[in-house]
Amino acid sequence: MSDKDDSNADAGVGNDASATRGAAGRRNRGVLAALIGVLVLGGVALGVWLQPFGDGTVPPEETAGSPITTVPLSGVDEALLEPGQCIQDFVSAWEPRFEVVDCALEHSGQLLAEVEATTLSGSDEYPGEEALRDRAQITCQAGDVLDTAAASAVPGLVIEASYPLNQADWDSGLRGYRCFASTPGASTTGSLAASS
């Protein structure tokens, strides 16, 4: 083989090597592009999963203003609950709000009456929580508060009361018992309040 043939052969080898390097480079770039695509899509998917609504920052021009109206909490404030009203899901006599329902519907509690406690003490001094609690249990089961005939037909009936807890409550004018009937873990229909 002549030197010319050797140089042509070398050139052919160089072209083959160059072609092989070119194909490998294209293949590597393809793999790299695919890997970047997977990472980007995976990152977006992961970002949506971890922070479905973005990073929590909102441009100032998109921030919501103050609400125009205030939506009231569900139920009736305890101070507005009236004797005779029935309570859907009664928890205790001390709740701040009650869900009032018609007494013909199923309910688990009722405010039977509000009874003055001022006759308990001859003075203006707070009679004490224990004295009020004991007296409330008697007062709230009296025939002029509770319909005893209807109450005797209700299994598991509980009578409880709320009352002033301290001298400050007493001085603020809270001087009575709020008598409740309830059926814990069950419901009933109809009123248990004594007829006036």
- Domain residue spans of the chain: 3-62, 76-182
Type of residue found at 163? Y
Q: Do residues 174 and 146 lie in contact, with contact meaning Cβ atoms separated by under 8 Å?
A: no
pLDDT of residue 84: 95
Other Cβ atoms within 10 Å of 121 Cβ, number = 15
Other Cβ atoms within 10 Å of 22 Cβ, number = 10
Distance between CA 196 and CA 194 in Å, rounded? 6
Distance between CA 87 and CA 98 in Å, rounded? 6
pLDDT of residue 195: 85
3-state secondary structure at position 21: helix
Other Cβ atoms within 10 Å of 105 Cβ, number = 11
pLDDT of residue 164: 93
Q: Do residues 110 and 86 lie in contact, with contact meaning Cβ atoms separated by under 8 Å?
A: yes
Q: Encoding tokens for residue 85?
A: 């009203």
Q: Do residues 132 and 115 lie in contact, with contact meaning Cβ atoms separated by under 8 Å?
A: no
pLDDT of residue 75: 83
pLDDT of residue 123: 67
pLDDT of residue 27: 53
Taking 50 as the pLDDT cut, the residues of the chain under it are 1-2, 4-15, 17-21, 31-73
Q: Encoding tokens for residue 123?
A: 């003075």
pLDDT of residue 118: 66
Torsion of CA 22, 25, 31, 37, to 10 degrees: -100
Q: Do residues 109 and 87 lie in contact, with contact meaning Cβ atoms separated by under 8 Å?
A: yes
What pTM was computed for the model? Answer: 0.61
